[in-house]
């Protein structure tokens, strides 16, 4: 069943803003490869974290909205967990 999702991703501040943009584009391509449809992306830019993660105090924030089969989300999470550029992420199914 296709659902609407929000994906918040925080990328490492060790990346340049262009590299963070490329990383987010690869995340969006992974969604497309799994049959998803990208609705929009909000770039929040470089911001301070509420608490340090891996001794880092900042990160690049991206909020992605997309539609995807609910069974494919598990595949996305596997890839996000091994991506060293991603500090944190959360995938939330939106209520319709």
- Domains in the chain (CATH in brackets) are 2-84 (3.30.70.60)
Token pair recorded at residue 8: 């918040």
Q: Is the pLDDT of residue 47 over 80?
A: yes
Q: Which residues contact 49 (CB under 8 A, 6 or more apart)?
A: 10, 56, 57, 58, 59, 87
Mean model confidence pLDDT for the chain: 94
Confidence tier at 20 by pLDDT (50, 70, 90): very high
Residues 6+ apart with CB under 8 A from 66: 4, 5, 7, 28, 31, 36, 37, 38, 39
DSSP class of 75:
H
């Amino acid at each position: 069943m296709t659902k609407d999702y929000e994906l918040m991703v925080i990328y490492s501040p060790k990346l340049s803003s262009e590299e963070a943009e490329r990383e987010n584009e690869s995340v969006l391509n992974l969604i497309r490869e799994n049959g998803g449809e990208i609705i929009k992306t909000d770039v929040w830019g470089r911001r301070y974290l509420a608490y340090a993660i891996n001794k880092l105090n900042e990160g690049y924030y991206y909020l992605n909205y997309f539609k995807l089969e609910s069974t494919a989300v598990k595949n996305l999470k596997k890839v996000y967990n091994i991506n060293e550029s991603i500090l944190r992420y959360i995938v939330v199914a939106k209520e319709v």
